[in-house]
Amino acid sequence: MGLDDALIFTRVVEYHSFTQAAHSLGMQKSTVSRRIALLEERLGVRLLNRTTRKLRLTEVGQAYYERCRQIMLDFAEAEQAVMQLQQEPSGLLRITAPIEFGQLFLGRVLGAFMRQYPQITAEVEITSRAVDPVEEGVDIVIQVGQPQDSTLIARKLFESSRRFYASPDYLAAHGTPLETTDLSAHRAVLLPQDASRYWPLLGDSVPCQRALSCNNITFAREAVIAGAGIAGLPTMISDEAVRLGTLVELLPQARLPIGELYAVYPSRRFQAMKVKTFLDFLMSNLPVENGRLLEPVAACLLTSPP
């Protein structure tokens, strides 16, 4: 089967007319009719039942049309992919992201991206809720952890390590834990992913005294700074507080779960240029040092002259 035969056949089926198909292809109606007849002769089957007013696919013709149509779609996507390489990103980019990541990082990176690509407009929702990119028509969902839907594409952005922290005032009042087992005597500030009865440790089950639970890591950090207890917090929002002396890092030997942030988008054989270009730009402009995502303040300290 030649590609031109597949194209002629699909056009005839989609237009329900030899005349209109011929017009769309810039061919004579007699030529289109002859090519379909030769195609049927070569295959040894009837693909179309013809009357003076209607065309109707046979059962074999229907199966053949579905295959030909897929070939045409593949061909069109291949052409689009090549053409996109010569185009600048443009159009509306819809993104959702977790609150802290959006506030600390996404705004700066997206602003720089839009300055470089002025044909881009954007809609951003900073949220802690789960978002389905297909259901809600979102181009990129930035989320913690991989999606459960295997039909979605997930690109890992970075890993965020966690450490235990407390305020100097809390440690002065309650003592400093030296071993992970010492945590059982301390007040715990817990996040949603933490078990309510145990400290968030890998491989160990140390009971905790829950003092506070919340669904926001910045809220938890501020509560810990104020002396509410000890929390396992992401280093990306805690490094600057340690530098300023409002938090103290504890138990460096402790192993806590690692948080992974992913960019999730619908499974497509060819990404829209705006999506691919922004994801590459995001990866290149996140302040990462030794595999750790740095707070913007800490990142500025690394790049500022002494």
pLDDT string in tens for the chain (306-residue length): 466 888 898 889 888 889 888 998 899 989 999 999 998 888 899 999 887 678 889 999 899 889 888 888 888 777 776 666 557 788 899 999 998 889 888 999 999 999 999 999 999 999 988 898 988 889 999 998 888 877 888 988 888 889 999 999 999 999 999 999 999 999 999 998 887 788 989 888 899 999 999 988 999 999 999 999 999 999 888 988 999 999 999 999 999 988 888 999 986 655 678 898 999 999 888 877 665 666 654 443 333 433
Q: Taking a C-beta distance cutoff of 8 angstroms, is the pair 154, 146 a contact?
A: yes
- Residue 233 φ then ψ, to 5°: -115, 150
Return the pLDDT at 150.
77
d(CA 88, CA 99): 29
- Residue 49 φ then ψ, to 5°: -95, 125
d(CA 49, CA 39): 14
Return the pLDDT at 85.
54
Q: Which helix (H) or strand (E) holds 97?
A: strand 91-97
Q: Is 10 helix (H, G, I), strand (E, B) or coil?
A: helix
Q: Taking a C-beta distance cutoff of 8 angstroms, is the pair 121, 91 a contact?
A: yes
CB count in 10 Å sphere of residue 247? 23
Return the pLDDT at 291.
56
Q: Which domains, ranges and CATH numbers included, belong to the chain? A: 3-84 (1.10.10.10), 91-159+259-303 (3.40.190.10), 162-250 (3.40.190.10)
Q: Taking a C-beta distance cutoff of 8 angstroms, is the pair 213, 191 a contact?
A: yes
Any alpha helices (H) in the chain, and if so which ranges? 3-15, 18-25, 29-43, 59-84, 99-101, 107-116, 133-136, 168-174, 217-225, 239-244, 273-285, 296-303
Return the pLDDT at 210.
93
CB count in 10 Å sphere of residue 15? 16
Please give the model's pTM, rounded to 2 decimal places: 0.62
Return the pLDDT at 180.
94
Return the pLDDT at 177.
96
d(CA 55, CA 76): 26
d(CA 165, CA 237): 11
Query: Residue 212 is encoded by which pair of tokens?
Result: 């506070």
* Burial zone of 240 (CB within 10 Å; 0-12 exposed, 13-18 middle, 19+ buried): middle
d(CA 239, CA 219): 16
Return the pLDDT at 100.
86
Q: Taking a C-beta distance cutoff of 8 angstroms, is the pair 144, 192 a contact?
A: no
Return the pLDDT at 86.
57
Q: Taking a C-beta distance cutoff of 8 angstroms, is the pair 96, 131 a contact?
A: yes
How far separated are the first and last CA of the chain, in Å rounded? 70
Query: Residue 98 is encoded by which pair of tokens?
Result: 């977790």
Q: Which helix (H) or strand (E) holds 162?
A: strand 162-166
